[in-house]
Amino acid sequence: MRILFIHADYIEFESKEKAIKSAEEISEKKERCDECLVAFISVEEGDDGIVPRAVEEIEEVAEKLNVERIVLYPYAHLSNRLAAPDVAVKVLKELHAALEEKYEVCRAPFGWYKSFVISCKGHPLSELSKEIRGGEKKEEESEALKAEKRTTYWYVMTPDGEMHSVDEFNYSSYPNLKKFVEYEISGTRAVKQMPPHVELMQKLELADYEPGSDSGNMRYYPKGKLIKALVEDYVERRVLDFGAMEVETPIMYDFNHPSLKSYLNRFPARQYQVLSGRDKYFLRFAACFGQFLMMHDATFSYRQMPIHIYELAKYSFRREQKGELVGLRRLRAFTMPDMHTLARDMEQAKEDFKKQYEMAIEVLRAFGLELGDYEVAIRFTRDFYKNNKDFIVSLVKLVNRPVLIQMWDERFFYFVLKFEFNFIDNMDKAAALSTVQIDVENAERYGITYYDEDGEKQYPYILHCSPSGAVERVLYAMLEKAYMDSQRGKKPMFPVWLSPVQVRIVPVKDDFVGCAIQEMYAMQKRGFRVDIDDRDLSVSRKIRDAEKEWIPYIVVMGEKEKKSGRLTVRIRGDGVKVMSREELIARLNEETAGYPRRPLPLPPMVSQRPKFRG
């Protein structure tokens, strides 16, 4: 199947005369559809059974464009290997019926000569083409992914250590936990509505879909890139302070390397595969591969353990399924802060596991995500629980709230214990943020050994830790939480240290631009991101625009401020206050203390900035 997409202001078409004897019967010759996505479609040989994939492709484009109407227009001129007319009509009707569940759908009749007039919107995404092939093989799954679908046991554990059936637990005080439990047990990951963070990331000019790439690969505008970089800086600093040594490893590995091939079947993720001549490679989905191969070549003893090594895995790749790819929640290319710890025994592994658990709570707090903003999942084998029940209970006590427990009779992953902090968004979908796992098999698989007290070689336990989870997913969680805040009447905003613009100065007229520049330079020298709205607009319009950008501090600069030396400051969520420059700087210092700083990502004069979207 070949499809040409046009995002249209409108399309008008008129059926003139039948092109084939078996043309569809029609009741209306003229039709018009406004504000729509027009899909010109050639149904090709072998397209039987292609409708589910075609629906995914069309919905993906419709979601990117935020349209509610779709026009299916049979168009034979896109292919020279057309399906038989009866097959084409059957496919088009099935496509119509499937899309009608979510969209208003208009279908032009098959087998007619038609005239049409169309008005294309003309933005970068308004013209796209897709080729969908029939008869493709089902994507391969790792053994771990297959095993994950076997029998598993679900419970809710309360801080007193009691295990409750997920069906009998009283969720009345924990509505998000109930949503999380339902999400996990259902196994349904596909998203059928556009989550609020997508519109926010576009309106704020942070991130957007990239039509020139594979689905799940995003573009980041200057403000979004700044937030990502600050998140990366902060997590990296926390991990290095924890005692990790930073390394760098490749992103592509030999698919037939014996250790790597074995590991692939133990990891619950789908891989991108790459051919280089006749050789088969895969793109990494974490930093494990390079770090494990590196530690295989290292020499160390029990006295040096635990050993922590870290890499900002930029980028990691997972071949996620299309229906799961919406906005920043689940991507195919992402940035993962990835630390691995080599522990000499299970007691040391558990001790470090708990410290990393506590670090993850602190890391998410820095992004404005408190314990009540996410749900905890702890996953383990039955044997591990039997031997370490008190340790599991201590983890639940630490968060002091009920957590979801997943238990397996057999170990089909490489780990015996794992925790995740899961954010529940406005669509009631869960996304894992922080995680730590205790790995009991990869040291042996990769030949990683250490020398014990007797000088004998032993295999260490390995902890896999991402204190924040994927950086892009942190941004998703902050945006979804901001939307929730707005629904409760609270002004949405980023933590001040993450705000792309921390202070905007608004001169009441051109005469005060010079004073505004002096104030901007004074605050920039102290390490803050300050800009000036020098556009020829009213003060109220400039303030309104700054509010739409979630800027935490808006300073109005006029005659009164010039004479008094005191600033009129509109504080987001805290009203208007008059303060000196030093008082404002002191407040900024207090809100950004201990966090990384980066300069303004845009020209300081608002009039000099391009508009990246819309």
Q: How confident is the model at residue 124 (pLDDT cuts 50, 70, 90)?
A: confident
Looking at residue 139, its pLDDT comes to: 46
The residue assigned the tokens 């314990």 is 371
Average pLDDT over residues 78-92: 89
Average pLDDT over residues 113-133: 87
Q: Report the share of the chain in percent with pLDDT over 90.
A: 70
Average pLDDT over residues 277-289: 86
Q: What's the structural domain count of the chain?
A: 3
Average pLDDT over residues 198-213: 92
Q: Is residue 97 part of a domain?
A: yes
Rounded Cα distance between 266 and 154, Å, is 22
Please compute Rg for the chain using Cα positions. Answer: 28
Element (H, E) at 4: strand 2-18
* CATH code of the domain containing 26: 3.50.80.10
Q: How confident is the model at residue 151 (pLDDT cuts 50, 70, 90)?
A: low
* Arithmetic mean of pLDDT over the chain: 90
> DSSP E strands: which ranges in 215-278?
218-220, 245-246, 252-254, 273-276
User: Contact, 601 vs 526, CB < 8 A?
Assistant: no
User: Contact, 226 vs 598, CB < 8 A?
Assistant: yes
Q: Is residue 484 part of a domain?
A: no
In sequence order, the 6+-apart residues with CB closer than 8 A to the CB of 46 are: 83, 134, 135
Q: Is residue 289 part of a domain?
A: no
Distances (CA, A) of 25 to 29, 71, 108, 112, 297: 10, 18, 11, 10, 73
- Each residue of 10-61: pLDDT tens digit? 999 999 999 988 899 888 889 999 999 999 999 988 887 889 889 988 988 8
Average pLDDT over residues 589-606: 96
* CATH code of the domain containing 430: 3.30.930.10
Q: Is residue 406 located within the same domain as residue 337?
A: yes
Looking at residue 136, its pLDDT comes to: 46
Question: Within a 10 A sphere around the Cβ of 437, how many other Cβ atoms?
Answer: 20
Phi and psi for 101 in degrees, rounded to 5? -70, -25
Residue spans of alpha helices (H) in 72-119: 85-99
Q: Is residue 399 part of a domain?
A: yes
**DSSP code at position 151:** -
Looking at residue 148, its pLDDT comes to: 53
pTM above 0.85, yes or no: no
Q: Is residue 112 located within the same domain as residue 238?
A: no
Q: Residue 178 above 90 pLDDT?
A: yes
Q: Residue 87 above 80 pLDDT?
A: yes
Average pLDDT over residues 535-539: 94
Q: Is residue 383 located within the same domain as residue 505?
A: no
Looking at residue 138, its pLDDT comes to: 44
Q: Residue 324 above 80 pLDDT?
A: no
Identify the three-state secondary structure at position 13: strand
User: Contact, 334 vs 327, CB < 8 A?
Assistant: no
Domain membership of residue 584 as a residue range: 496-608
- Each residue of 439-496: pLDDT tens digit? 999 999 999 999 999 989 999 999 999 999 999 999 999 999 999 999 999 999 999 9
* CATH code of the domain containing 589: 3.40.50.800
Q: Is residue 111 located within the same domain as residue 188?
A: no
464 burial (CB, 10 Å; 0-12 / 13-18 / 19+) is: buried
